[in-house]
Amino acid sequence: MTEIFISLAIGIALSACSGFRVFVPMLVANLATRFELLHLSNNGFEWLSSPMATYILAAATVGEILAYYVPVIDNLLDTIAMPASFIAGTILTTSFLKIDSPELQWTLGILAGGGMAGTIQAGTGLLRLASTKFTGGFGNAFFATFENSVSIIFSILTLWLPLFVAILGVLLFTFLLRKVLKRFQAKKK
C-alpha cells in the first residue's frame, strides 16, 4: 500500500510540474529511470527510460524553455501546451503507478495526473494572458523564468521529496481551480 501511495505522489508531483513546462518533468522522469532513481510500472512504459527518449525530450525541453521567452509565441504555445500538459500529466502519473488493474491505473492517471497538469497549465496560461494585456508582453519573460524555475526545481525535488511536492501541487491545483472557476463565472455574467 505504501508503494502505491508513493508512486501516486511521484506521478502527481511530476504532473503538477508538467503544468508549468510539458517536457521538463518528462525529461527528469526519463533520466531518473535511466539512472534507477525511480522505477516505472511494468505496463508498457519502458520507452520513457530509453536513450532515444532522452535525446527527444532534451531537445523538446530546450526548445520549449526558449520559446516561452519569445513574445506572441509564448501565448500561442499555451494553446498547444494545454492538451500536451494533460497528456504528459496522464502519462507521468500512469507510468509510475504500480497497480495491477490497468483500468484503475489509467483512471487515476487521467484524473489525478492529467487533471493536475491541465488545471495548472490553465492557470499559468491565464496569468500570461493577463501579463500580455497589462504589460504589452514585456512581463511575460518574468513569468517564463518563474515557470521554468518551478518546473525544473520541483521536478528534481520530486526525486527525493515526492510527498512534499505532491502536497504543494494539490494546494496549487486547488488555488488555480478556484481562480479559473471565478474567471469563467465572471465571463457568464
DSSP string, 141-155: HHHHHHHHHHHHHHH
- Mean pLDDT across the chain: 89
> pLDDT category, 1, cuts 50, 70, 90?
low
d(CA 149, CA 21): 10
Averaged over 9-21, what is the pLDDT? 92
Report which of residues 161 and 153 the model is more confident about.
153
Burial class (CB in 10 A: 0-12, 13-18, 19+), 123: buried
Domain extent, residue 153, equals 2-188
Number of structural domains in the chain = 1
- Alpha-carbon separation of residue 105 from 42, 53, 54, 97, 180 (angstroms): 12, 22, 24, 6, 27
Q: What is the pTM of this model?
A: 0.85
d(CA 96, CA 50): 15
The least confident of 91-95, 109-113, 124-128 is 124-128
Averaged over 91-113, what is the pLDDT? 92
What percent of the chain has pLDDT above 70? 99
Closest CA to 158 of 43, 23, 46, 16: 16
